[in-house]
Amino acid sequence: MSGVLVTVILLFGLAVIVVRRRSVAIGLVAAQSLALGIGALGLAGGRSGDYLVASFVLLTKAVVLPVLLYALIRRTPEPRLVVAANGPLVRLAGAGAVALCAGLLMPPLGLGNSHTEHAAVALVLIGIAIVVARRPLLFQLLGLIVAENGLALLAVSVPGGLSYVVEIGALFDLAMVVTVAAAFAHRIHVELGTGDTERLGGLRD
Amino acid sequence: MTDLVPVLVVLVPAIPLVGAGLALLARTARQADRLAMATAVVTAVAALILACTAFARGGRAALHGRWYLVDGASGLLLAVIAVVGLCSALVSPSYLRTSGRSWTTAARSRSLYYAALFVFWAALLAVPVAGNLAVVWLIVEATTAASALLVAFTGRRRALDAGWKYLVLTTLGLSVALLGIIVLAIGQANAGHHDLHALDWPTLRHAAHTLPKDPTLIAFVLLLAGLAAKIGWAPVHNWLPDAHSEAPAPISAMLSAALLPTVLLIAWRVKQTLEPSVGVATTRAVFIAFGLTSMLVAIPFLWQSLPWKRLLAYSSLEHMGVIALGIGFGTPLAIAGVVIHVAGHALAKALGFYAALPLLRIDSDAGRRAPTGVAGESPTTAAAMGISLAALAGLPPSPLFLSELLIVLGGVAAGQVVVTAVAVLALALGFLGLLHALIEGVIGEKPAHPRRRPERGQRTTVALTAILGTGLLALFAAGVLLVNSSFVETLTRGTL
C-alpha cells in the first residue's frame, strides 16, 4: 500500500478525535474504511484470493457500518452539544503524542515496511485515545472502529494476506458489536435523554 | 469413544445455538421456559460426554482434527461450562418470574433472554475445543456481544452503564489481542506459512522456536494484555465488578465461573505455544505479575462492606489472580492446584450468585448494601451464602484450600520463594476479608429494623446448595488423587 494512502488513513483517524459533529465523524470513519478498501484492492492484483476478500470486507465496512450509525444518530438527537472535558487542540496533541510514541518506541513487527507498521499501531492507539477522550457514546463506538481499521491495515499488509476466514469473521464480529452498541446507545438515550457517558457513571466503590 | 469426538465437537455448541433460535419462536413464557430447560439438559449432557472423553484419555496426547483440539484442559473447561450453564438455565425461570423490569417489552424479554443466554453458552463451549488461535479470538469476541446484552438485561441505568463499560473495554482489549495475533501471522507468513492453519495451536507450537524472538515477544505481551481485559486481571479489571453485580444472577454466575476461566485457558495455551520462542522466564514473569497484582488489588475491596454480588465480583478478581499465579509457577503441584481451583471456584462462585436470587427477594436493598444477619431470617439462603463464602475463602474442607496449598507448594518448588511469600500474605488477608463478610453478613445479628419479606419457594436454593455443596466436597477428595497423576503431568508438560 502506498505511503501516501497510509498517511491519509492515519490522518482520518486523528481527525475523528477533533471534530464535534457526530455526522462528520461518521463520514471520516467511512472515508478511512473506503481508503483501506481501495488500498487492499490495489494489493489484490495477481495475488491470492484472500486479498480480494479483504478488499470486499473493507468496502462493505465502509458502507454498512456508517449507514447503521447514521440511522442511530437520527434516532438519538442530542438536545445540546456534549461539552468535551478537553478542547480539540488538547485532544489532538494527546492523540498525536500517542501516535508519535508508537512510531518511536514500537520495534519492527517483521512486515518490512515500518511506515505501515507504525501507522497501524498508531491507529489502534488513537482508537483507544478516542474512547478515553470523547464522552458521547457514538464517538466511543467510532473509537472501536478506528482501532479495528488499524488492525485491518496491518492485516492486509501481511505477506500473502490474512485468511479470509479471519477477515470475514472479524467483519461479522465487528458488525455484531456495533449493532449491540447501537442498541445500547439507543436505550441509554431513551433512559437519559442524551448519549453523554458522563451521565451514566454511578458505579463506584 | 474417541470416534465420537469430531461429531460432539460440532454438536456441543450447535445444540444451544438451535435452542437460541427456538427460544425466539416461543409464544408463551411457559413454552420458552420448557424449551430452555430441554435445550440446557441436552447441551450439558453432550458437553459432559465430550469432557469425560477428554478425561478418560488421562495423560495421552491431545486429539486434534482440522478445526478442533481436545485435551485435558478442554475437558476441564467443558465440564465447568456445562455444569454452570445448566444450573444457570435451571434457575433462570425463577429469576425471570421476579425480575420485574427488563430492557425490552415483557412479552419479548423472556425469549430474548434465553436466546442471548444460549448464544453466549454456545460460544463459551466452543472456545476450549477450537484448535486455532484466530478462530478462538473470533469466538471470544462473539461472547462479548451476547453477554453485554445480558449484563444490561434489566435496562436500569446502572445496568446500562455496566453493560456499556463491559462492551467497550473488552472489545478494546480484544483488539489489542488481535494485534498480537496479526504479528504472529506476519512471523508465520515470513516463514512461508500463509493459510489459516498457520495459527493452529500445534502448528504454532512446532514453529515457535523458528519465529523471530522480538516480534514474538511483542505478540505474546499484546495477546496477554488484551486477554487480561477479558479475564478481568488487574489493572484492566474495571468492568468486572460492575458487570458481575448488575447482571442477572444466573448470568453473573456464567460470567464469573465460566467466562473468566475460559478466556484464561486461551492465555494458558498462548503461554504453552510461544514459550519456546519467548522463554520460560518471561512467560512465567508475565503470569506471576498479573496474578500477584490481581490478588493484591482485590484485598481492600474484600475488606469492605459491599453488596453481596459486588463482593463476589472482587473475589473473582482474587481467584483469577490465584489461577494466573499457578500457571506462572508451572510446576506439577501448581498445575494440580490450578485444575482444582478452576473447578472449585466455579462451583462455589455459581452457588454464591444463585444465592443472590432469594437474597434479593427477601431484601430488595441487598443489591445496594452489604447483607446483615441473613441466617436469622432465611436459613436456606444463609446456608447457600455460607457454603459459597467458606469455600471461596479457602476454609477446609473447601477444594480451594487444597488448590491454594498446592499452588503455594508449587511456587516453592519453582524456586519463587519471595513471590510465594507475598501470595500467602495476600491469601491470608483475602481469607480474613471474606471471613468477616461471612460472620457479619450471614451468621451475624439480625438488623434492628428488618424490612424483609418472608422467604418462600426455596426448593431450588435447597437443591442447588445440596448439589453444589456435595460437588465441592467430592472435588476435595478427587483433588487429593489428582496430585502426581498422569493427567496433571501432561498438562504441565503441555499437550499442544
| B175 touches A at CB < 8 Å | yes
Contacts of A176 in chain B (CB under 8 A): 141-142, 145
CA distance B449 to B155: 31
DSSP sequence for B290-342:
HHHHHHHHHHHHHTS---HHHHHHHHHHHHHHHHHHHHHH-SHHHHHHHHHHH
Contacts of B216 in chain A (CB under 8 A): none
Are A123 and A13 spatial neighbours (Cβ–Cβ below 8 Å)? yes
Number of helices (H), then strands (E), in chain A: 7, 0
Residues 295-324 of B with CB under 8 A from A: 301, 304, 306, 310
B306-351 pLDDT, tens digit each: 999 999 999 999 999 999 999 999 999 999 999 999 999 999 999 9
Contacts of B277 in chain A (CB under 8 A): none
Are B287 and B272 spatial neighbours (Cβ–Cβ below 8 Å)? no
Are B41 and B82 spatial neighbours (Cβ–Cβ below 8 Å)? no
B372-381 pLDDT, tens digit each: 889 888 899 9
Taking the CA of residue B218 and the nearest CA in chain A, the distance in Å comes to: 8
The pLDDT value given to residue B14: 98
b/e map of A27-46 (b: 16 or more CB within 10 Å)?
A: bbbbbbbbbbbbbbbebbee
What percent of chain B is modeled with pLDDT above 70? 97
* Parent domain of A59: 3-200
Contacts of A108 in chain B (CB under 8 A): 214-215
Q: Which of B33, B80, B38 is nearest to B55 (CA)?
A: B80
| B221 touches A at CB < 8 Å | no
Taking the CA of residue B44 and the nearest CA in chain A, the distance in Å comes to: 26
| Distance separating the N- and C-terminal Cα atoms of chain A | 48
Q: Average the pLDDT over each of B204-208, B261-265, B328-332, B364-368 and give the range with the smallest value.
A: B364-368
B372-431 pLDDT, tens digit each: 889 888 899 999 999 999 999 999 999 999 999 999 999 999 999 999 999 999 999 999
The pLDDT value given to residue B139: 96
Are B326 and B416 spatial neighbours (Cβ–Cβ below 8 Å)? no
Amino acid at B389: L
Q: What is the mean pLDDT of residues B19-25?
A: 95
Query: Which of B149, B155, B175 is facing A148, going by the closest CB pair?
Result: B175
| B171 touches A at CB < 8 Å | yes
Contacts of B168 in chain A (CB under 8 A): 131, 140, 144, 181
Are B50 and B70 spatial neighbours (Cβ–Cβ below 8 Å)? yes
Amino acid at B263: V
Residues 248-267 of B with CB under 8 A from A: none
Across the interface, whether the CB atoms of A107 and B215 are under 8 A apart is answered yes
Q: What is the mean pLDDT of residues A133-156?
A: 93
Residues 388-427 of B with CB under 8 A from A: none
B452-480 pLDDT, tens digit each: 565 566 888 899 999 999 999 999 999 99
CA distance B45 to B315: 29
B43 Cα distance to chain centroid: 18
Contacts of B127 (CB under 8 A, 6+ apart): B77, B136, B139, B140, B143, B262, B263, B265, B266
Contacts of B173 in chain A (CB under 8 A): none
Query: Which of A137, A163, A200 is facing B195, going by the closest CB pair?
Result: A163
Query: Which of A48, A173, A205 is facing B138, going by the closest CB pair?
Result: A173
Query: Which of B152, B178, B242 is facing A203, going by the closest CB pair?
Result: B242
Q: Which of B111, B143, B109 is nearest to B125 (CA)?
A: B143
Q: Which of B57, B91, B88 is nearest to B72 (CA)?
A: B57
For residue B300, the tally of other CB atoms under 10 A from its CB is 12
A88-119 pLDDT, tens digit each: 899 999 989 988 887 788 889 988 889 999 99
SS3 A136: strand
Across the interface, whether the CB atoms of B214 and A148 are under 8 A apart is answered no
The reply to whether A70 falls in a domain is: yes
Residue of B nearest to A143 (CA): B172
Contacts of B142 in chain A (CB under 8 A): 173, 176
Per the structure, the count of domains in chain A is 1
Query: Which of A159, A166, A173 is facing B190, going by the closest CB pair?
Result: A159
* Domain residue extents for chain B: 1-131
Across the interface, whether the CB atoms of A151 and B164 are under 8 A apart is answered no
